[in-house]
Structure formats: structure tokens, C-alpha cells
Amino acid sequence: MSANKESWGSRMGLILAMAGNAVGLGNFLRFPVQAVQNGGGAFIIPYLVCFLVMGIPLLWIEWSMGRFGGKSGHHSTPFIVDTMGKSRLWKYIGVFGIWTNIAVASYYCYLESWTMSYVFHSVIGTFSGLDQEGVSNFFNEYVSLGISTLGIPYEPIFFFVLCLLLNTWILSQGLASGVERVAKIGMPLLILFGAFLAYKGFTITAGENGAINDSSVGLNFLWTPNFDQLWSPSVWLAAAGQIFFTLSVGMGTVQCYASYVRSKDDIALNAMSAGWMNEFVEVVLGGAILIPISIGYLGIDRVTELVQHGGLGLAFRTMPYLFYQWGDVLGAVAGVMWFGLLFFAGITSSLAMGTPWIGFLQDEFNWKRKPAAWSFGIFVLVLGMPTVLFFEYGVFDEYDYWAGTVSLVVFALFESILFAWIFGMNKGWREIISGSDIKVPGIYRFIIKFVTPLLLLWVFLGSLFTPKGGDWAAAFSGSWELDDSSIIKKIMNSGLKEQLAAATDAAQIEHLQDTMFFVNASRILLLLVWLGLALLVYMAYKKRVREGRI
């Protein structure tokens, strides 16, 4: 008999926890950068289309799968999908729903620990008096395990362990007393902090506090539509990819959370509520902070240059400096709010990542909640330490690419096929609308069965065979050269090999050779973890057979 007898304390707590699972660092760091790089305001069109025909359907699919599996006492994806499929292989496809969360948590908690550290540094005034280069150098020293201004040896390791301890302790308290309580506190604070910073972003005036542009310049830069890019497949792929990041679909966390709802609880409206709350945070708040404030003080050319390296550079290398343009007190307060909202966005997501592993141990091996939670913390500590120690060698990025990008698409594709074509659309539709407080539009039967799987297949194939420079027109005309960002070229380490061949400096050559080693080693490690989890699933299956539960 499973030791797992938990449930959610309230409907609002469930919705906030689900929204917290979806609202993550990508809402504030990745979304505005993606918008800038893919047509500005025009990006919203494919983004919303992908949300409606892929995001919402996947949310309904995963909530339905979770509740369906929960009726049979399953709280992790291997046996949730096993109850819906006709082949014994499905449980091993479900391994992705545990593996992805552990692998993502291993680097995500490290990133989350940066926000925790930067809150402390904002409080004690570390960034006061530093110019932009000084703030950037602080970040470089931090990730390279340099000397801390706090006097803590190996500060990144300290905060990584501290962050993991906090996550693990909250998970050990259970769903209602731990995860749900944090969501009820963290999500309102996140929105409050975000609203204040968005207000500051909307009210920047040129000539005040060192600003060189009004807020309208940054907002126009972000949202002025470039309709020339609207028909680019690369833009649509970017929009679809952002939907994965922003909704946390294809991971197994939604199924796990939904497995704890009661059999007649509404899932259609709950899924919509969590999904649209995430969209509000991402588009309204996420679009009003990072880019507008940066352009207000740095100008378009400088921000365009920084954006090429993603949102992390702006968030950690630049924003602390910009906040102090408002004065020491307000700069410290803004720093606490910015990194505080990032921390709440991070921890509500990382807590969700622990639940599939905990549910699996409770269901299959009769573990109690507390030891299961602490085993997750230890697992993530061991697997995540290479991302801390070897950050400069690309281990962090490899974890993010394979577990936080490719795996999401692969698992989402499989689960959409399972739900609509193997479990069956008739049964699946009944599961979606059962207990629903809203009328689900009938057109979604067609969308879930045909449009969503085809769109997911297109996203996967587009990532697998990405043409050089994203030039799809040249690719379709017969000149199809793979880009280094494609999955195939990534596996072959083509980009690194090209850099190595072009390098002439001995130190650079040595660094690239070390990077090649650590990149390959991290992939092998992730593969071994997946195989180990698959073995545990096999052992659990044999245990079920012996106990007569199958």
C-alpha cells in the first residue's frame, strides 16, 4: 500500500501552486529577450496562437492525465502514462517526467541561488557605487568561485546548498503545509514586487536620475511590430519554444500536481486559470521591467548588444547598477524586489520539480514524505554540483539544453499522441470536461487530436534540422545546411570543434578542450541518470507484479 495519502488544502492553493510552477525565471528573463529578437510586437501573434493551440491543449492534457492517474493512486508519470497506454514501454517514456525535473532542478536551483545571494547583496549595499563594469565583474567573480564581499568561502556553493536545504525542507512539509503555503505567500509578493518595478519601468523620464530615454522608447523597442518576421518559421519555433518554458509543460510536474486533486474536481477551469495567470505575469509584468528600464538608462544600441547574450546578462550584470540610478535607498529596495520576485518565481517552480520523484518513491517503494524529500535534495546536490564547479565549461548550458529544452518537446509530443490517439479522444475529452465549471469549446477536440501533435512534431523536427542562420527560405530552396544550434550539430559538438580549429592562443585552446570534455561528460552523466531511473521504474513494475497490483 502506498504511503502517499496527500491532497491539496484548497482550490486557490492548487491554482496558485500550478501558476507558481508555470511562472518561473523565464517569464522575466527569457520572454522579453525572445520578443526583442523575434519581431517585437509581432512576436505576440505567434506566441498567443501557440498558447491557444498548443499551450492550453497541453495543460488540459496534462491535468487530465494527472487526475486520471491519481484515481488509481499514481502520482508520477511512469505509471500515470502506463494506465493510459497499451504497451509496457509507455512507463519508460514516463521516465522523462521524473528525469527532466531532477536534471532541470540540478541547474535551476543553482540559478535560483543566485537570486537569493543577490537579495542579500542588495540589502547590504554591495552594488552601491559600482559602475556597470563593476557589477558585471562581480558576477564573473561570483560564478568563477571568486572571493565574496560577504567573506564566505566559495559563496556560490554556500548559497546553492542553502537554497537546496530550503527547497527540501519545504517539500518535506507536504503539499498543503509546504508547497501550497509557499505559493500563497510567494505568488502575491511576486506580483506586488513586479507591479512596483513595472511602474518604475513605465515612468522613466529622460534627464532624470541619469536616464537618457523616456520609458516609451524602451516599450516601443520591445513592442513595435516587425511584421516582416511574422512569416519566418524561426519566429514561430521561438514562440512555440517559449510556451514550453513559460507553462512548464512536457515536464511531468503538472500531471503530478493534478494527481492529487479529487476525482470530480474541475480541471478545465483550473488549468485555464493557472495558464492565464502565467500569461499576465509574463506579458504584462515581464515585458515592462527588464527591457524598458535597461533602454531608459543604457540606450537601444547597448541593450541590443547585451540581448544577444540572453536575459541573464541584463538581469545580473546590469540591473543592479541601473537600480542605483534611483538613489541608494530606492536602489537597494528595487534590488531586493527584483531578485526577490525572481527568487519566488524560481522556488515555486523548483518545488514542483521535486514532487514527481517524491510521489514515485511514496507510491512504489512506500517511502514517507520526509525521507523522500531529503533524497531529492541529495540527488539534486550531487547532480547539480558540476554546474556550480564547472559553470565556465558549459555544464550548466548542457543541462539546460537537453533537460530543459529537448526533453520537454520529446515528452510533450509522446504524451499528446498517447492522450489523443492511444487512450482515445473520446475518453480523453470526457476526462477534460468531467466536473468542469466552464464549457470547453468543442473545437478543442479537433485541436488536441490533430493540431497540437502536428505542431509539436514540427517544433521537434525544426529543432532537429535547424537550417544555418535560421534561413528557412534558403533551406526549402535546396540549400539546407544545418545550424550549429540544431540538435544534430549539438550532438556532434560542431560549434565547439569550429572554435577549436580557429583558435590560436594556447590558453584558449586548452579552455575549449576542457569545455569539450565537460560537455561530453555532462551528457554521459545525464544519460546514466535516465538509465538509473528507468531501472527503478522496472524494479517498481516487478514489485507491483509480485504484489498482485498488475
Quick one: pLDDT band at residue 473, thresholds 50, 70, 90?
A: confident
What's the mean pLDDT in 7-26? 90
Question: What integer pLDDT is reported at residue 408 of this predicted model?
Answer: 94
By percentage, how much of the chain surpasses pLDDT 90? 81
pLDDT digits (tens, 9 = 90+) for 387-399: 999 999 999 999 9
With both helix axes pointing from N to C terminus, report the angle between 506-546 and 96-124 in degrees, rounded to the nearest 10: 130
C-beta separation of 337 from 293 below 8 A: no
With both helix axes pointing from N to C terminus, report the angle between 328-365 and 77-84 in degrees, rounded to the nearest 10: 60
Query: Cell for 411?
Result: 515528452
Report the C-alpha gap between 377 and 277 in whole angstroms.
29
What's the mean pLDDT in 358-386? 97
C-beta separation of 179 from 359 below 8 A: no
Strand residue runs (E) in 285-425: none
Report the C-alpha gap between 157 and 178 in whole angstroms.
25
Report the C-alpha gap between 496 and 38 in whole angstroms.
26
Question: What integer pLDDT is reported at residue 403 of this predicted model?
Answer: 95
pLDDT digits (tens, 9 = 90+) for 147-193: 676 777 789 999 999 999 999 999 999 999 999 999 999 999 999 99
Is the per-residue pLDDT at 370 higher than 80?
yes
H runs (alpha helix) in 72-95: 77-84, 90-93
Query: Cell for 468?
Result: 544555418
Q: If you write DSSP's letter for every residue of 107-169 in order, what string do you get? A: HHHHHHHHHHHHHHHHHHTTTTT--HHHHHHHHHHHHTT---TT--TTHHHHHHHHHHHHHHH
Residue with cell 478545465: 268
Domains (ranges, CATH) in the chain? 11-493 (1.20.1740)
Report the C-alpha gap between 185 and 158 in whole angstroms.
25
By percentage, how much of the chain surpasses pLDDT 70? 99
Return mean pLDDT, the chain. Answer: 93
225 contact partners, CB below 8 Å, separation of at least 6: 39, 40, 41, 42
The continuous run of DSSP H or E covering 27 comes out as helix 25-29
Positive or negative, the CA dihedral 269, 271, 274, 278 is negative
Quick one: pLDDT band at residue 200, thresholds 50, 70, 90?
A: very high
Query: Cell for 15?
Result: 491554482
Report the C-alpha gap between 355 and 275 in whole angstroms.
20
Is the per-residue pLDDT at 340 higher than 80?
yes
Is the per-residue pLDDT at 3 higher than 60?
no
Quick one: pLDDT band at residue 9, thresholds 50, 70, 90?
A: confident
- Between the two ends of the chain, the Cα-to-Cα distance in Å is 13
Alpha carbon distances (Å) from 435 to 9, 315, 354, 421, 429: 18, 42, 28, 23, 12
pLDDT digits (tens, 9 = 90+) for 506-536: 999 999 999 999 999 999 999 999 999 999 9
pLDDT digits (tens, 9 = 90+) for 107-119: 999 999 999 999 9
Residue with cell 564581499: 149
The region of weakest confidence among 73-82, 223-232, 269-278, 378-387 is: 223-232
What's the mean pLDDT in 321-339? 96
Name residue 482's beta-bridge partners: 467
Quick one: pLDDT band at residue 2, thresholds 50, 70, 90?
A: low
pLDDT digits (tens, 9 = 90+) for 262-305: 888 899 999 999 999 999 999 999 999 999 999 999 999 988 88
With both helix axes pointing from N to C terminus, report the angle between 11-22 and 268-279 in degrees, rounded to the nearest 10: 50
C-beta separation of 116 from 393 below 8 A: no
H runs (alpha helix) in 402-505: 407-417, 425-433, 443-446, 452-464, 472-476, 487-491, 494-502
